[in-house]
Amino acid sequence: MRTSESSTTTIAKGGGIAAPLTTLLGKYWPKDWRGDRLTAFLVLLPSIIAVAIFVYGFILWTFRVSFTNWSGWTATYDFVGLENWKQLFLNDERWLIDLRNLVEYAVVFMTLCIVMGFLMAALLNQRVKGESFFRTVFVFPFAVSGIVTGVTWRWLMYPPAGINLIFHYLGLDFLQNKWYAASYGTMAVALAGAWQFTGYVMALYLAGLRGINAELLEAAQIDGAGTWNLYRNVIIPMLSPVTFTAIVLTGMGSIRVFDLVVAISGSGAGYTTDTMAFYMFQSIFQTSRFALGGTIAAFMVVLSAFLVGPYLMSMRREVE
């Protein structure tokens, strides 16, 4: 009895906002969960609940929608099994075009961002004058929104004007093309996306390059490694964690392209610039086919999980 009383007073002293609760439950309350430690948990709790509901609960909810026949503004949850998924992958021509567009977009966007980003970082790492100027210019598009980027590039890629005109001035007329109006229009959209995101990838690589031990590079050079070999066998392998991050981020960017398409071309003639996100948006907000939209959304989550899962696993190792 005495011991229990004295422990209660100690708790009450450092108890913070949770003191009454711990006092009430006395010795039955676990030792770890007292005083400030309990306060900390209680402060975090609203965020935990918010994430649990708005991230995890909502994802499950979306999956649930994908197994129903909900269409129209009033929600109906009649279970239809995998019907929507079957429809989408077996019978939906627009969806199959979207998948092809995803590949087109991802190839152009990821290659440009990663290759150019690395090249730009390598150039900036050559002790150049005006480094901060170039860095500012390269990263700057990332501060510009997708809509502004799209609106601008729509004008730049407007077939009778823009870049085609530059090609004409340079006598490179054979390079002229219809950009987003062409059958490979998604690649043109990816070009605008890469303009926006390459600077980000460059910043990642530059930080990675700056983190490489200078003595190590020196040693490799003394061993007779030329510039090419140095990059090929030392620098690029050492930067593979950065490349991994860049692949995950650009891959995610490819999956969820939305505002660029909205601003540049919409779904395009024959869905040449359509994307999964755009189809999902239209199916919900224009045709009220919620089950269809939910299925597309659920598929986008599945696809992202393949990229993000391994990434978070590697982060977990870093965290612990």
CA distance 217 to 231: 10
Residue 115 in the binding site for another protein (CB under 8 A) = no
> Minimal distance in Å, beta carbon 85 to another protein?
15
Classify residue 81 as exposed, middle or buried by CB count within 10 Å of its CB (0-12, 13-18, 19+).
Answer: exposed
- What residue type is assigned to position 86 of the chain? K
* Backbone angles phi and psi of 266, in degrees to 5: 65, -150
Sole binder of another protein in the list 80, 96, 99, 148 (CB under 8 A): 148
Contact predicate 134/222, CB 8 Å: no
For 310, the token pair is 């391994």
Sole binder of another protein in the list 141, 185, 193, 268 (CB under 8 A): 141
The three-class DSSP label of residue 131 is: helix
Residue 161 in the binding site for another protein (CB under 8 A) = yes
Residue 139 in the binding site for another protein (CB under 8 A) = yes
CA distance 69 to 59: 18
Sole binder of another protein in the list 84, 243, 245, 273 (CB under 8 A): 245
Residue 120 in the binding site for another protein (CB under 8 A) = yes
Find where tokens 């439950």 sit: 25
Binding mask 262-301 for another protein (x = CB under 8 A): xx------------xx--xx--xx----x--xx-xxx-xx
Residue 167 in the binding site for another protein (CB under 8 A) = no
Contact predicate 268/185, CB 8 Å: yes
- What residue type is assigned to position 179 of the chain? W
DSSP category for residue 115 = I
Pick 24 or 315: Cβ nearer another protein: 315
DSSP category for residue 213 = -
Sole binder of another protein in the list 103, 115, 165, 175 (CB under 8 A): 165
Q: Which stretch binds another protein (CB under 8 A): 43-51, 90-98, 178-186, 229-237?
A: 43-51
> Minimal distance in Å, beta carbon 287 to another protein?
14
CA distance 248 to 201: 11
Length of the chain: 320
> Minimal distance in Å, beta carbon 76 to another protein?
12
CA distance 187 to 103: 10
Pick 88 or 262: Cβ nearer another protein: 262
Sole binder of another protein in the list 127, 170, 224, 286 (CB under 8 A): 127
Residue 57 in the binding site for another protein (CB under 8 A) = yes
Sole binder of another protein in the list 11, 156, 187, 189 (CB under 8 A): 156
Sole binder of another protein in the list 160, 171, 174, 222 (CB under 8 A): 160
Counting residues that bind another protein (by CB under 8 A) gives 107
Sole binder of another protein in the list 10, 12, 26, 54 (CB under 8 A): 54
Residue 44 in the binding site for another protein (CB under 8 A) = yes
Contact predicate 98/313, CB 8 Å: no
Contact predicate 118/270, CB 8 Å: no
* Backbone angles phi and psi of 79, in degrees to 5: -70, 125
Separation of first and last alpha carbons in the chain? 41
Residue 94 in the binding site for another protein (CB under 8 A) = no
Residue 261 in the binding site for another protein (CB under 8 A) = no
Ranges within 201-230 binding another protein (CB under 8 A): 203-204, 207, 214-215, 218
> Minimal distance in Å, beta carbon 275 to another protein?
10
> Minimal distance in Å, beta carbon 4 to another protein?
23
